[in-house]
Every structure is written in C-alpha cells, then in structure tokens.
A = this chain, B = another copy of it.
C-alpha cells in the first residue's frame, strides 16, 4: 500500500539520521523547531547557523544537537513530518472532499484554490523550506516526487476521470494537463499577489474568483449563450 511505502521510507531516512519522529516534543524542542523553520525559511538551510537558531530558540546550541544530532537531522525532523502530516493527509483529504462534492465547476475550482491558498499561507515558511531544500537534498526531492506525487496521482486522476464523465470538465485533455493546470492556477494566484501586488487592488476573494474564472472559461471570449448558469442546466439535463 501507498501509505506504508511512504512510512517505511520516512522511517528509513529518520533512522539514518537517528531521529525519532514520534517522540513527543518538549517545550524547548518546540521552540527549537519553530526557530529553525523561521531561520531556514529566511536564510535557507546552508545560510542558517545552528548558533542563530539556538539563540532564537533561547536554548544552548548543544541542546539542538542532543535532540536532533546534526543540522541535517533538524531539517529532516522539520520537513519529514510536514510532508507526512501536512502534505499527505491534511493536504489531500480536503482536496478529495472538494472534488467529491456535487457543485458547479466554478465553485469547485474556487474552493480548491481558496483551500490550497489558505494551506500555503498558513504554512508558508515550511513550504518554502521544503520546496527550496528539495532542490538541494535528493532525499527530499525523492520524498516529494516519488512518495507524494506518484503515490497520490492515481487517486487524483480517478476524481478527474469522474468529473470528465459527468461532463463537468473537458474530456479531451489528459489528466496530467488538468492537474498541472490546477496547480498552476494556484501558483497564478500566488504570483499575482506576491509579484504583481502593485497592479491589482481587488480583495483576495475577488482575485481568487478571477483566477477560477480564467481556469474554467479560458482566456478567449465565450459566446453569450454559454454563460456558466446555462452550462449548469446543460449538465443537469
């Protein structure tokens, strides 16, 4: 089973770094982890120093090493559970839930974007660390690609299939195009709020609606007789 695969793999990596991912974290350890997220996301793993993390966490440097054995151990102790707990179940379950619901395409996509954006914004620092560091640490890249993406893609593809069959989305695009398109729509929103903040002044709510609309209806004008409401009717008939 997929889940066991992932768990075994995490276990294996954790053992290599002598980490116990299940052990309850004491108050001080939580301070360390928080400080580490903060500083890793600000300076990158290599740019961060354990002494800085220790200072921010208000513990002695040695305490970090007592608990996590090495700087890399600390990184993994941050990132692996985040991938496990955040990316895997917490991430995918709501996604599936949303895809399951019976509602118009617009609403589905809007909900998806909103949901993902919230998730990203709540875990911004961690996600930045995971994405950037997976460029430099092959184990992390493997974790993401093989154990998260590959493992969950079939399940997602299944939902996409259903939507296609229901006529909610186009059947002539391959699954991966749909999925990549959805992901990139989330990215589009993030790009617009981060890089083009100087251009748009609408509420975030409204922005999300725009990007959902773009993803749903495309960039070219539609004939007026096919506004969303009508499609809705069509689908139901």
Contact = CB atoms under 8 A, between A and B. Distances in A.
A227 to B, nearest CB: 11
A196 B220 contact: no
Main secondary structure of the interface of A (DSSP, over half): helix
B174 A210 contact: yes
A21 to B, nearest CB: 22
Nearest to A169: B219
Interface of A: 42-47, 105, 109, 128, 132, 135-136, 145, 149-150, 153, 157, 167-171, 173-181, 183-185, 187-189, 191-192, 195-196, 198-200, 202, 207, 210-211, 213-223, 225-226, 231
Given A43-B136, A188-B183, A216 B214 contact: no
Contact of A195 (B145, B213, B219): B145
A168 B218 CA distance: 12
Contacts of A170: 217, 219-221
Contacts of A198: 150, 153
Contact of A219 (B105, B183, B220, B223): B105
B132 A173 contact: no
A216 B218 contact: yes
A157 B198 CA distance: 13
20 contacts: A43-B136, A44-B132, A44-B136, A45-B46, A132-B132, A153-B198, A169-B219, A169-B220, A169-B221, A170-B220, A174-B200, A178-B219, A180-B188, A180-B191, A180-B211, A181-B188, A184-B188, A217-B220, A220-B231, A223-B226
Nearest to A202: B174
Contacts of A200: 174, 176-177
Contacts of A217: 170, 218, 220
Nearest to A47: B46
Contacts of A174: 199-200, 202, 210
